[in-house]
Amino acid sequence: MKLLKSKQTLSHESMPLIGIPKPLDQLSESEIERKACIGKVMTYTLRNLTSQFVDSGFQWLLPVALSQSTDPLWPDPGASIEKRIEVDIYGKTVRTTASMIIHKLIASSLAYPKLFILSPNIRIEKAERAKTGKHIYEFTQLDFEARGASSKDVMSLVEEVICSLLTSLKRDMKDELTSLCRCDTLALPKRPFKVYDRHDLEAKYGADWEEGIAQETSDPVWVTNIPREFYDFEDFKTGKWDNYDLFLPQYGEVLSGAKREWEYEKILKKIERDNVDKNNYALVLKLAKQGKLKPTAGGGIGMERLVGWISGVKHIAETQPFPRVPGTVHEL
């Protein structure tokens, strides 16, 4: 594994710009063959991951597209949301799902101790992120949550799942990986994955540590202790956050997760501190106050970024049949 030894900044503006993927009707015959090949890798990855989670005792739940309560995406410094989509139905204002974290917290606490969902995420990113190659405005996460789990439990599970997936891919999808020029370059990571504290990365790379770690690693790595939304567990005494993101070489964050807050007073204090509208999270507060919210931990794996890394695409929208590139709206 290689890491920069000197502090430097790597802004989006300083990175090479990536070409924008074209819609299906504009692809050449060879490009369609490549698109179909990536689709086969996506199919295999979805089947493999969902099977692994089911075999590990997780229940597969259906997703939610509209809800009064969804991820506030604040104060996450990595968020770049241009607008939020809201619509009135049955006299209520609902939002498109930015992530199913609130649903996972409640579902795991009340009825499904171990769950996962192929969850829709609609985040209208700023148009300037179109050419980073890592951002799309509509994507899918394999969202999972486990009651009573620790951060170490989740990190160990994810490492096992990712390594098992890659081992199976290299065995069963040799033709596809060869066609994508990834059969020899896609290496199986060593376990356990390296773990970095966000504070240390900021000291080494500066404010753009996410770009630094993504560009200068050769294996997936964990980054912990990231200030984030109210539902991630924060130790008020030490100021540290019990959370973890998985970063892929070149492609950046592919998983975001944490041990969760469940105590009423802490959740309320953090919501008020972050100026988050309490009305949007009334049920979370109610359940926490009643002692029905339980300690859980989990995360969400971005399927387009994961398959983009496996396939070696230049832009993760290449993994989508109908590219969702910031700033661009196609007919389909």
216-242 confidence digits (pLDDT tens): 899 999 999 999 999 999 999 999 999
Alpha carbons within 13 A on the beta-carbon side of 134 = 19
CA dist 187 → 106, 127, 212, 260 (Å): 38, 33, 21, 32
Q: What is the pLDDT of residues 320-332, one digit of tens each?
A: 999 999 999 999 9
pLDDT at 84: 87
pLDDT at 7: 38
DSSP string over 67-131: ES------S-TT--EEE--EEEETTEEEEE-S-SHHHHHHHHHHT-SEEEEEEEEE-EE-GGGGG
Is the pLDDT confidence value at 281 over 60?
yes
Q: Pairing between strand 243-248 and 221-224?
A: antiparallel
Amino acid at 318: E
| Tokens 């807050």, located at residue | 261
pLDDT at 16: 53
What is the C-alpha to C-alpha distance for residues 184 and 216, in angstroms, rounded to an integer?
Answer: 20
The H or E element spanning position 255 is strand 252-259
Q: What is the pLDDT of residues 118-160, one digit of tens each?
A: 999 999 999 999 999 999 999 999 999 999 999 999 999 999 9
Domains of the chain: 12-319 (3.30.930.10)
Is the pLDDT confidence value at 3 over 60?
no
Neighbours of 322 (CB within 10 A): 12
pLDDT at 76: 67
3-state SS, residue 222: strand
Q: What is the pLDDT of residues 76-109, one digit of tens each?
A: 666 788 888 999 999 999 999 999 999 999 999 9
3-state SS, residue 243: strand
Tell me what percent of the residues of the chain surpass a pLDDT of 90: 89
**Residue 210 in contact with residue 80, Cβ under 8 Å?**
no
What is the C-alpha to C-alpha distance for residues 71 and 120, in angstroms, rounded to an integer?
Answer: 12
Q: What is the pLDDT of residues 250-259, one digit of tens each?
A: 999 999 999 9
pLDDT at 14: 44
pLDDT at 6: 36
In degrees and rounded to multiples of 5, residue 222 shows phi and psi of -95, 145
Q: What is the pLDDT of residues 263-277, one digit of tens each?
A: 999 999 999 999 999
pLDDT at 80: 80
Is the pLDDT confidence value at 13 over 80?
no
Tell me what percent of the residues of the chain surpass a pLDDT of 70: 94
Q: What is the pLDDT of residues 193-212, one digit of tens each?
A: 999 999 999 999 999 999 99
Alpha carbons within 13 A on the beta-carbon side of 242 = 20
What is the C-alpha to C-alpha distance for residues 78 and 20, in angstroms, rounded to an integer?
Answer: 22
The average confidence (pLDDT) of the chain is 93
Is the pLDDT confidence value at 15 over 80?
no
Is the pLDDT confidence value at 161 over 90?
yes
